[in-house]
Amino acid sequence: MAAKRCLMIGGGGMAGGWISNFTQHFADRIEVVAVADVSDDVLARQGAALGLGDDALYTDFAEACASVEADFCGIAVPPQFHAPAAIAAMRAGMPVLSEKPIADTLEAAKEMLSVANETGLPCGIIQNYRYAPNKQELVAIRDEGRLGRLQHIVGRYACDYRKPASWGAWRHTMEFGLLFEGSVHHFDMLRFLSGGDCETLVGFGWDPEWSSFEHFSSGIYAMRMDNGVHAVYEGNSSAAGIMNCWNSEHYRAEFEEGCVEIAGGDTVTIHRAGQESESYEAPSIPWHAHLHLFDEYLNWLDGGPPSVTRIQDNIKSYALVIAAMETTTDGQPKRIADYLIDIS
């Protein structure tokens, strides 16, 4: 089967990682035929690396979408450009695979979803943290009933970003950076691990005096899922003690007959009252993180099942970010259905 032609919107940073993964792991399945980026230096570097001529390098994504013939469009640029780029690509007839979050506002996310539904084109959203062996094993324990029924889950993210610009300067100045850049992953993970969608969310956000952020760097939120499971989330980008930073977030799932702990690495630990704890390495999985999502998306384009994190599902995770932002502002519980009432 011929390689899928990709228009890549973004060429540096995360987008550079996409391109590297494409060339290293999917060279027989993906051909990057054009790149759009605001930086001439990034375009020159990627053009040279990919063997692209100047006519395949664009500083305007709208022009690129209107000009390039491709089988799909990859989008890895700042959140405020996700929806405009994705809509331009889908209007030009291209399926889309985009980084999270879906967009920078709920309205933009809904518009992107509307165009995906209208065109019927595949629109996938990256939620790479689901695809790690220990997370997949916890879900298997739940689905197979190894410890009985699931009661609640506690998730903890903690990074030491007390030094200015240590998490990228722009994240230290944006509003609700914890929620949009961090919790968007963790709320999605709590949906995944619990096996349910959130009905009600309530919580608080704050910024300690020693924070290097201009807005809230910390928060605690509680969720009630539609399957009876509850979840609690602790987010802390001004952590000074125990770290549960990226790829080492701590999750504890309380079941009827014990509990499961996972954090960094692939270790799974099961605790049962009155018994010694049991630790083991989670079974391996074929693809991890972004690689899983790239493989799943390509299979979708080839007629396979839709990506699990397609926009029609991931909007439910994104709504949690908006609800958390608003409950932080007004202190009131939020019904997630209220945020999704006008989508099909």
Q: What is the per-residue pLDDT across 164-189, written as a single tens digit (0 to 9) for each?
A: 999 989 899 999 999 999 999 999 99
| CA dist list (Å): 131 to 92, 134, 301, 316 | 31, 9, 20, 18
Percent of the chain with pLDDT over 70: 99
Q: Which helix (H) or strand (E) holds 38?
A: none
At position 149, the amino acid (one-letter code) is R
Q: Is the pLDDT of residue 303 over 90?
A: yes
Strands (E), 60-134: 72-75, 96-98, 123-125
Same domain, 136 and 120: no
Same domain, 112 and 146: no
Which two structure tokens, joined as six digits, stand for 163?
């030094």
User: What are the tens digits of pLDDT across the range 75-94?
Assistant: 999 899 999 999 999 999 99
Return the CATH number at 332. 3.30.360.10
Parallel/antiparallel/unpaired status of strands 30-36 and 4-9: parallel
The predicted structure's pLDDT at residue 279? 98
Write down the mean pLDDT value for the chain: 96
Which two structure tokens, joined as six digits, stand for 42?
């990034």
The predicted structure's pLDDT at residue 332? 97
Query: Of the candidates 102, 125, 148, which is a domain's last residue?
Result: 125
User: What are the tens digits of pLDDT across the range 181-227?
Assistant: 999 999 999 999 999 999 999 999 999 999 999 999 999 999 999 99
The predicted structure's pLDDT at residue 170? 87
Same domain, 177 and 223: yes
Same domain, 187 and 248: yes
User: What are the tens digits of pLDDT across the range 234-273?
Assistant: 999 999 999 999 999 999 999 999 999 999 999 999 999 9
Please compute the mean of the pLDDT values over residues 321-342 and round it to a whole number. 95
- Taking a C-beta distance cutoff of 8 angstroms, is the pair 217, 238 a contact? yes
Same domain, 169 and 267: yes
Look at the chain and report how many structural domains it folds into.
2
Same domain, 206 and 326: yes
Same domain, 76 and 201: no
The predicted structure's pLDDT at residue 224? 98
Please compute the mean of the pLDDT values over residues 29-36 and round it to a whole number. 97
| pLDDT band at residue 298 using 50, 70 and 90 as cut-offs | very high
Parallel/antiparallel/unpaired status of strands 57-58 and 30-36: parallel
Give me the helices (H) in 195-330, please: 289-301, 311-330
Return the CATH number at 25. 3.40.50.720
What is the Cα–Cα distance from 103 to 80, expressed in whole angstroms?
6
| pLDDT band at residue 286 using 50, 70 and 90 as cut-offs | very high
Structural domain span for residue 78:
4-125
Query: Of the candidates 105, 125, 145, which is a domain's last residue?
Result: 125
In a domain, 292, yes or no: no
Q: Is the pLDDT of residue 128 over 70?
A: yes
Q: What is the pTM of this model?
A: 0.94
Q: Is the pLDDT of residue 1 over 90?
A: no
Same domain, 111 and 180: no
The predicted structure's pLDDT at residue 213? 96
Query: Of the candidates 108, 125, 142, which is a domain's last residue?
Result: 125
- Alpha carbon 284 to chain centroid, angstroms: 21
Q: What are phi and psi of 5, to 5 degrees?
A: -80, 130
Same domain, 324 and 177: yes
Please compute the mean of the pLDDT values over residues 128-139 and round it to a whole number. 96
Q: What is the number of alpha carbons within 13 Å of residue 207 lying toward its C-beta?
A: 18
The predicted structure's pLDDT at residue 126? 95
- Taking a C-beta distance cutoff of 8 angstroms, is the pair 336, 217 a contact? no
What is the Cα–Cα distance from 73 to 71, expressed in whole angstroms?
7
Same domain, 189 and 333: yes
Same domain, 67 and 175: no
